[in-house]
Structure 1
Amino acid sequence: METLNRRAAFRLAGLSALGAALAACAPDAAGGGAPKGDAAAKRFGFTSWSLNEEAQKAAVRATVDAYAAKHGVRIDTASFPYNEYLNQVTLKLRGGQLSGAVQLDISWLAALAAMGKLKDLGAQAAKGGYTDVALSSGRFQDRQLGLPWTTGSIGLVANTEVLKKAGVEGMPATVEEFEDALRKVAKLGGGITPYAAATKAAQLKDILPWMRTFGSPLMEGDTITVGDDASVAAVEWYKKLYDAKLIAPDVDRFDARALFAQGKAAFYDDAVIARGVVAAQSPDKSLTEKMAPLARPVLKAGDQPQALLWGHVIVVVDGEGSDAAADFASYATSDTATVTAFFEKVKLPPTTTAGLADPKVAGDAFTTEWTEKITKTATPNPFWRYAGYAQIETAIAEQVQAVLVGQSPAKDALARAAETAKPLQK
């Protein structure tokens, strides 16, 4: 799972070159031109970063080979490392050098959709049996441009052994209960960080679901609402945790995983891949038995827990071989035998009701619990609609860090963040 570790970090840190690369492609939004090539051709391409990663390439290759053999088609595969992937795909799509099916991180869908060259997969989606949350990850402006391959979320993970030692009974359900649990853990001493929350600027967009927890929509229409009373309250609360040493300075996802793996953190934020990543780092071979997914605590009872959607979709480029590519995308993401076999190999949750209900998946308590507690109410980052989403997140993160280190009051800092973000809404 180490390649997943690196891959998640690249996405979560943001891609600094993304805005410029995609801005250059913006003119295609108005007219991508007619699709080129024979849509009914029985040869198509499949581009995937997973084919470049040791942890997943065998499982992906098995899916590709099985479909090709069953349907008598030829699939030409291509791959790029994750941290180069989007720029490569963007340039090749713009230059007419990309066809067939393409794996995408869900945060990239809007940017590629703006080029006007993706096939509408609504017909495949309608018969796939996907969950509503999964379908939302592949939807752009009321069109189903991607079929969900794996759908998860960024949520909280708890170490139940640490909580038990601290005298925390049951999982905290509200912000007040969560803070109380952190204070109990702090009394354990021994170098334990109660909540290994992100405090480095590169990762501080983890504050966004907390802003939503406190009532900020982040965006209303095309207006960024960061800087409203709710987002200010969330950052002031985060600052309170920081000052009380309930969260620690200079922590990113890698640091948080290391602390948790060593039994030195009670809570931290991660994707559903957390179990495999942390287990590989931990000297405690029973750590996975002590890990529990936690629905993000709410401000008041009855509120909906907040989580950021996470996952991959398969899109199809309109044109040469696009009909067969769309059928392949449907097969890879919704055929029950295929998605459950994929889950057994890489532990990435399927996106269909039947796949999640299959004994091979349903019998995995951690994945099932994560899906029910966290992914069920996860929503996309509203900034993903913009090519400059990473820069918007950076503008917010830098100002939140300024608050944490005492350089600025929250209200002033978030007002500056919103002003910086406005010209990036393109």
Structure 2
Amino acid sequence: MNRLTKALGAVALIGSMGAGTAQADDLSFMSFTYAEEANTATVQGLLDGFKAADGLTVEPLGFAWGDMQKNIFLRARSNTLPNVAQLSERWLPTFASLDQLVDLNTVYGQENLEATFAADALAMGNINGKQFALPLISGSIGMVANKAVLDQAGVEAPTTVAEFKDALIAVRDNVPNSVPYTMATKNNGSILIDFMIWNWVHGGSIIDAEGKVVVDSPESRSALQFMVDLLNERLAAPEIDRPDSRRLLAQGASAFYFDAPQTRTFLRDFSGQGEAFDVNVLPLKTPVLNEGDASTSVQWGHLLVQFAPGATATAEDPADKFLSYLTSDAVQTEFPLKMSALPVTNSARAAVADDAYLTAWAEATGASRANEVGIWSNAADMTTIIGEEVQGALLGQKSVDDAITAMQTRLTESMANATPAS
């Protein structure tokens, strides 16, 4: 597939033929990747490539990852939404109720989209049968290690939780001024991911498939106690967010953390070594509680959404030509690899199947699970609740029992009027 429009037929193709007379700023694109210093030039390259291919100019709107949701809602209130926005896959349910959000099935056709995109990637943007987003890159959130730090500490890659803790102790004792595991201890969105994964590892869950809050359990208490113990034993540290984790691991001051496959791109930049640092980036299966347990990770990806008056659009609109370009083979066989992520179309995945890093990441993914909080309409509120309660326990402001009990109560109240988003 050379263009999504090629798969969609003559209508979209005809729409692209008149692009030569386009004026500047034909559309706007809000992107958190554009705001990342390591990736600004890469995204600008996409915008330049789109202009060369279609004669259309894109106004980039860069906002930090943590500010994206707030700014989209502010722009919705002031009627200044961008034409296209990049989202983390877990945010989509939060915006599903916006009147301007386009169901892209109405633009491209459901059958054409299903034929073009990998099923797992396309599913991230589907809510109740409506395709509110197209995938841009995909993968999972799993464990990453710095092989050089493991070698310095004299340890092998751990497979069980017990081995993981032993490895952390070895790093603490043998790598000066290190934070062995840069566990997320600030930013509610980051804390949620670490707690959710360790909760799964210990056999717990936050919300079941029917929407019942089930976090008040011995398993969830064990998971949170495990995290508290790591902090108390100086195997983790306070005031750590995902960007801090990336910097510390890239600088040889950390051995482990959770991230998406695009971590390699950040580590190249933060290490100052570029691709030479790749030999140290080691994707690992998340340690399991007991040998024989299935390792787990969180489904992950970046999505593209379109906003339009009345949520009405056609394949001939500049924004839809931009979406077609971003999901074309020309982009999907290059951009995801620059971001150290998986392409989202069937044809692009086949074309890059020999990438060693992505193959290693796929092998380490294990039994990937959907973000069990993100599928609900009140995901933002629940993320805040979980982050606050976990942080309260980590900082010693309340006991593990009190934190889990409060989490159960607050989440149950939040779920009273929630609806499943997918």
Report the AA paired with residue 295 of structure 1.
Answer: K
SS of 1:79's partner is strand
Report the AA paired with residue 119 of structure 1.
Answer: D
Q: Residues 151 and 86 from structure 1, CA distance in 2 versus in 1: closer, same or farther, beyond 3 angstroms?
A: same
Contact residue 389 and residue 424 of structure 1 kept, 8 A: no
1:259 CA drift (Å): 2.3
Contact residue 153 and residue 170 of structure 2 kept, 8 A: yes
Q: Which residue matches 2:95?
A: 112
Q: Which residue matches 1:33?
A: none
Contact residue 149 and residue 332 of structure 1 kept, 8 A: no
1:232 CA drift (Å): 1.0
Contact residue 158 and residue 267 of structure 1 kept, 8 A: yes
Q: 1:128 aligns with which of 116, 129, 147?
A: 116
1:194 CA drift (Å): 2.2
Q: Which residue matches 1:145?
A: 132
Q: 1:323 aligns with which of 315, 329, 340?
A: 315
SS of 1:199's partner is coil
Report the AA paired with residue 235 of structure 2.
Answer: L
Q: Which residue matches 2:7?
A: none
1:163 CA drift (Å): 1.7
Q: In the aligned structure 1, how far is the partner of 2:82 from the partner of 2:277? A: 44
Q: In the aligned structure 2, how far is the partner of 1:345 from the partner of 1:412? A: 44
Q: Which residue matches 2:198?
A: 210
Q: Percent identity?
A: 28
Q: Which residue matches 1:264?
A: 253
Q: In the aligned structure 2, how far is the partner of 1:100 from the partner of 1:250? A: 35
Report the AA paired with residue 199 of structure 1.
Answer: T
Q: Which residue matches 1:402?
A: 392
Residue by residue over 1:301-357, the C-alpha shift from the partner in whole angstroms, topping out at 9 and shown as x without a partner, is 443322233322223457554233596476335432331132455544311343233
Q: How many residues align?
A: 378
Q: Residues 265 and 345 from structure 1, CA distance in 2 versus in 1: closer, same or farther, beyond 3 angstroms?
A: closer
Residue by residue over 1:191-246, the C-alpha shift from the partner in whole angstroms, topping out at 9 and shown as x without a partner, is 23321212336442221111112122321122222222221111112222223322
Say yes or no: does 1:337 pair with 2:323: no
SS of 2:315's partner is helix
Contact residue 50 and residue 60 of structure 1 kept, 8 A: no
Q: In the aligned structure 2, how far is the partner of 1:339 from the partner of 1:78? A: 20
RMSD over aligned CA atoms reads 3.3
TM-score by length of 1: 0.76
Q: Residues 163 and 147 from structure 1, CA distance in 2 versus in 1: closer, same or farther, beyond 3 angstroms?
A: same
Q: In the aligned structure 2, how far is the partner of 1:381 from the partner of 1:222? A: 13
Q: Which residue matches 1:299?
A: 289
Q: Which residue matches 1:49?
A: 31
Q: Which residue matches 1:354?
A: 347
Q: In the aligned structure 2, how far is the partner of 1:290 from the partner of 1:143? A: 41
Q: In the aligned structure 2, how far is the partner of 1:308 from the partner of 1:222? A: 19
SS of 1:312's partner is strand
Matches within 5 A, 1:8-407: 45=27, 47-49=29-31, 52-53=34-35, 54-65=40-51, 68=54, 79=61, 81-82=63-64, 85-90=68-73, 101-115=84-98, 117-121=101-105, 122-130=110-118, 132-169=119-156, 171-200=157-186, 202=188, 203-205=190-192, 206-220=194-208, 221-282=210-271, 286-317=276-307, 320-324=312-316, 328=321, 331-332=324-325, 334-343=327-336, 345-358=338-351, 361-374=352-365, 377-386=367-376, 388-407=378-397
Judge which range, 339-348 or 151-160, deviates more.
339-348
Residue by residue over 1:162-196, the C-alpha shift from the partner in whole angstroms, topping out at 9 and shown as x without a partner, is 22233323x22222222232233333152233212
Report the AA paired with residue 124 of structure 1.
Answer: N
SS of 2:41's partner is coil
TM-score by length of 2: 0.77
Contact residue 141 and residue 300 of structure 2 kept, 8 A: yes
Unmatched 5+ residue regions in structure 1? Answer: 1-39
1:136 CA drift (Å): 2.7
Q: In the aligned structure 2, how far is the partner of 1:251 from the partner of 1:321? A: 42
Report the AA paired with residue 394 of structure 2.
Answer: L
Contact residue 147 and residue 329 of structure 1 kept, 8 A: no
Residue by residue over 1:86-109, the C-alpha shift from the partner in whole angstroms, topping out at 9 and shown as x without a partner, is 445446557776686543332221
Contact residue 202 and residue 222 of structure 2 kept, 8 A: yes
Q: In the aligned structure 1, how far is the partner of 2:175 from the partner of 2:82? A: 56
Q: In the aligned structure 1, how far is the partner of 2:60 from the partner of 2:169? A: 50
Q: Residues 62 and 290 from structure 1, CA distance in 2 versus in 1: closer, same or farther, beyond 3 angstroms?
A: same
Q: In the aligned structure 2, how far is the partner of 1:383 from the partner of 1:308? A: 11
Contact residue 148 and residue 333 of structure 1 kept, 8 A: no
Contact residue 154 and residue 308 of structure 1 kept, 8 A: yes
Q: In the aligned structure 1, how far is the partner of 2:392 from the partner of 2:293? A: 29
Residue by residue over 1:349-388, the C-alpha shift from the partner in whole angstroms, topping out at 9 and shown as x without a partner, is 3113432332xx44542233223323x6433322224454
1:52 CA drift (Å): 5.0
1:85 CA drift (Å): 4.3
Contact residue 216 and residue 404 of structure 2 kept, 8 A: yes
Q: In the aligned structure 2, how far is the partner of 1:65 from the partner of 1:371? A: 34
Unmatched 5+ residue regions in structure 2? Answer: 1-13, 20-25
